[in-house]
Amino acid sequence: MKDLKRVFKQIDDSTEMMVALQTALTAVPAIAPESGGSGEAAKAELLEKELHRLGLTDTQNYPAPDERVPGRERPNIVASLPGPKKGPSFWIMSHLDVVPPGEESGWQSDPYKLVRKNGRLYGRGTEDNQQGMVSSIAAASALLTLGLRPSRPVKLLFVADEETGSEHGIQHLLANTELFDEGDQVLVPDGGSADGSMIQIAEKSLIWLRFQTLGKQCHASTPDQGKNAFLAGSELVCRLSELRELYSQENPLFDPPRSTFAPTKKEANVPNINTIPADDVFYLDCRVLPEIDLDALMARIADICLEVEKKHSVTVRVSTVQRVSSPPTPEDAPLVASLKKVLPLVYDVKPRTYGIGGGTVASYLRNRGIHTVVWSKLDETMHMPNEYCCLENMLGDAKIMAALMLGE
């Protein structure tokens, strides 16, 4: 505990360093090519120089090829903190990329010039995900400055491409490197709650489905001569609502605690009112509790489609736009237990675990059997105009990370 108090003071004394690092990082946009940007290379270069300046000289880049960006590579940087040479590693994974600022009129300042005001740091990327990035660096730097060794190998991972699918980030690393070992634990400081109490250990399975009904076009004044694809598709939407009752089990880890099946996007069919459409398309967003068998779910959906086909004499085609699932991190995983122990040392909270309906990069790691938790103390201004990082949160998160590094 004596070492921890020294580390906490060192982190407080590093406040201006952390603000300066946030300022420098904010000034270098790192936007994916899908969003009109040139990637993360310039930001990664600046970050690596800052890491070396702070004593984190053991860095390695694991680039992912991408012909769309200058240099044709997307960077993925690992910084290693000296510690025990053997045993599983403790990872903290943050991401380099940011989303575009959006409408300039929504900002009260330049998105790429950090503004410090009333304990907040305003600018694009300051909370998402530079808060976690800078906090992890400050925690490691504090240990180095005080000559303290972590209780296990510590790895700070700064990935590309989190905002647009992770193909050139964590997915690339898992497919093309052997960075992770059995027993490794990963903290992803890219989600959480305003009081810092929430430890995310699970995600619902995500399935996006495209439904296309194919019938026969005709004049709307003689609808019996056609096969109305829109009518069949509309009935199919209503029939799919049965899934909520068929899969009504609840899991208190989530909010809402049940699986959800929401019809969302609808494509245009015919341009005029007096034509029966032969082609109709809609989409279904499914967020499914992890304990539900997805193959059985898809089989039930196929049965519903077949029933609609027979009733309306149409053809229904179902295609999967996206399907992601992962096992939850166990409630009794060591990293979960450690977080529950150290959180009250910094924040006046009673920690609890929870699951989310959306997807995060943690799912890729959990699917590899790597215990991963998503945690941070956030005001949740990410992707908004006037995004900001609360300075108090950045300092507090650094202290939590340092405590985890020391094995408190």
353 within a domain of the structure (yes/no): no
Domain span including residue 273: 205-324
Q: Is residue 346, in this structure, part of any structural domain at all?
A: no
**Looking at the 3D structure of the chain, how many domains does it have?**
2
Q: Is residue 22 part of a domain?
A: yes
Residues 185 and 79 in one domain: yes
Catalytic residue among 97, 128, 163, 280: 97
CB 94 within 8 A of CB 47: no
Contact indicator for 211, 284 with CB cutoff of 8 Å = yes
CA distance 266 to 280: 8
Same domain, 59 and 97: yes
- 131 falls within a domain: yes
Confidence of residue 243 (pLDDT cuts 50, 70, 90): very high
**Shared domain check, 175 and 287:** no
What pLDDT shows up at residue 358? 83
In this prediction, residue 78 carries a pLDDT of 98
In a domain, 231, yes or no: yes
CATH code of residue 294: 3.30.70.360
Local confidence band at 216 (pLDDT 50, 70, 90 cut-offs): very high
For range 390-407, the mean pLDDT = 97
Check whether 279 has a pLDDT greater than 90: yes
Q: Does any domain span residue 351?
A: no
Q: What confidence category does residue 84 fall into, taking pLDDT thresholds of 50, 70 and 90?
A: confident
Model pLDDT, residue 328: 95
Same domain, 275 and 377: no
Q: What is the mean pLDDT of the chain?
A: 96
Domain edge (last residue) among 266, 297, 324: 324
- Sign of the C-alpha dihedral computed for residues 336, 338, 339 and 344 taken in this order: positive
In a domain, 399, yes or no: yes
Q: Which of 162, 163, 190, 387 is catalytic?
A: 162
Query: Active-site residue 34, yes or no?
Result: no
Whole-number Å distance between alpha carbons of 315 and 327: 35
Q: Is 97 a catalytic residue?
A: yes
- Quick one: pLDDT band at residue 2, thresholds 50, 70, 90? confident
Residue 87: its pLDDT value, please?
82
* pTM listed for this prediction: 0.90
C-alpha span between 235 and 381 (Å, rounded): 39
For residues 168 and 56, membership in a common domain is answered with: yes
Looking at residue 113, what DSSP letter applies?
S
Domain match, 308 and 263 both? yes
154 and 253 housed in the same domain: no
Res 329 pLDDT > 90: yes
- CATH value at residue 96: 3.40.630.10
Residue 83 has pLDDT above 80, yes or no: no
pLDDT band, very low/low/confident/very high, at 189 (cuts 50, 70, 90)? very high
Shared-domain flag, residues 172 and 236:
no
Q: What is the number of other CB atoms lying within 10 angstroms of the CB of residue 247?
A: 19
**What pLDDT shows up at residue 319?**
98
Is residue 350, in this structure, part of any structural domain at all?
no
- Out of 303, 324, 345, a domain closes at 324
Distance CA 263, CA 246 (A): 17
